[in-house]
A and B are shown apart, each in its own frame.
Chain A
Amino acid sequence: MLEIKDLKVNVDEKPVLKGLNLTVKPGEVHAIMGPNGSGKSTLSKVIAGHPAYDVTSGEVLYDINFEMKNLLEMEPDERAKEGIFLAFQYPVEVPGVSNRTFLRTSFNSIVKHQGSSELSEEQFDEILKKKIEIVEMNPSFLDRPVNVGFSGGEKKRNEILQMAVLSPRVAFLDETDSGLDIDALRIVANGVNKLKSSDNAIVLITHYQRLLDYIEPDFVHVLADGKIIETGDKNLAHKLEEKGYDWLVH
């Protein structure tokens, strides 16, 4: 459903991704690991459509109604409406806008695009009640401004709540495990597992193998110097944990 072909991306005129290829099919969980600065976060931002990244060549084909469309030609909101989701490494604060309002606005703009009718506050609250259980979040978070004053872990959990509400087809989780203590990690990972289905795909970007103890990947890729240099199954992650990246890079 998602095919990244020979993707080259510059940031501030410096090449960061240098010909990346990746194919993601429904029902799959991919993990992308790699040393700092290898381009992992760049990849996720480019997929979601951040305007500061300059794609110099390649394409990202995405299956929309049985037709492969180039994702790179779409605005970020159009991608979201078609089911692309990015759980941010550093979620952004939105002062004055309650989490509840934000989630509903977001939800409604997506369902509207998909041809369903928008939900009233009451109808949406019903859905929200169930979704919030998935990430074991205190409902009081719903009435606080988006991410304002949230701890690092709370912000990450909030990202997964958004994912739960928006039911994306392809979700990139950018270092969702970083900054989480072991309990929070378990909760977030359980949440992701509950959201996993045969219709959607999940791409985990992570530094650590420990997340993969909770969310089992079908594929593990090593991203180094802007390219995927190795692909394997979950055992590759264990090997990386033991040996680091050096044996692959050199």
Chain B
Amino acid sequence: MSDLNQTMAARYQNNFLKEIEEQAEMGEWVKMCMQCGLCSGSCPTNFQAGWDHPPQEIFMMIRAGKRDEVLKSNSMWMCTSCYNCYVRCPRKVPVTHVMHGIAEYAYRIGQSPKNQPTQHLSKTFWDNCTKTGRVNEVKLTQSLYFKDGIGAGIKKAMEMQAVALGLVKAKRLNPLEAIGIAHKCKDIKGIQAMLAKANELEAQRKAEKAKA
């Protein structure tokens, strides 16, 4: 993975903006930002102080060529996809999509922050639901709770006990999912064929970009 990182760094040298424009999805929008800060002001996660940099800064840092800081930043992973920024941007920059594009690129070249909860969830969720075509809630929760070790996992599980029982009672959670007896979609093969084709197309597009 880091090979790809080095390849890209070498190819674009100091022009990180160009790298993002060509490699990250929607990256071509970065140059259109006019630094008004409306996205940062509109972001609900802003008030949680949970990010390294607001979107306005991320855009500016890309232009200033701060490659490592941007790619390793947790900012893009904190996005809740509420689309406030996208709706409000006076320049009609699809900020949400740009953030996702940068996040995906950082992950692809192995530069995204390690053990980042939302990144972990994304990956787990994807793997979980593509297996049977439906989400296995018990396994998904397990994987999320126990990501930081058994102790932390048990603690979290105990905290959420009441919620889980409530869900079971309301028939929203099937405890049997834990042993693999879970709801599935009718045509798993069809779904997987579809996903495989999508993956193939995506890989093809990215390979072309990486070559270009």
Pair from one complex: no
